[in-house]
Amino acid sequence: MVRGRTGKLYCGITKDLDRRVQEHNTDPARASKAAWAMRPVVLVWSEPHQYQAHALRREAMIKRMKKSAKEALVAEAKARLEKCLRSAQAAFTRS
């Protein structure tokens, strides 16, 4: 999921997150119309899936969610990342 300059969230699937975010920001021919209109966009949440069919089902589920539920996914991921960074920083300063 990416967030645009207005705060709006956009959800899609891809096999290469970095490439897709870059396309949304720099290539109007390859970006989705919605993401292109919101640029610049930044990646705020992702979830790996082994099979494309599973990713498509999850994408459809997320697109049906209320914005508050999507924001909860983003907040949870941010909290996990911050906890991981604090743990890594603590380990680094101990050594």
Per cent of the chain over pLDDT 70 is: 99
Phi-psi region of 3 (alpha: psi -120 to 50; beta: other; left: phi over 0): beta
Output 47-56 pairs: Cβ under 8 A, ≥24 positions apart. Answer: 49/13, 52/13, 55/13, 56/13
**Rounded Cα–Cα distance for residues 15 and 2 (Å):** 15
pLDDT recorded at residue 95? 67
pLDDT recorded at residue 92? 85
Which of residues 94 and 23 earns the better pLDDT score? 23
- Average pLDDT, stretch 62-86? 96
pLDDT in tens, 7-48: 999 999 999 999 999 999 999 999 999 999 999 999 999 999
pLDDT recorded at residue 93? 86
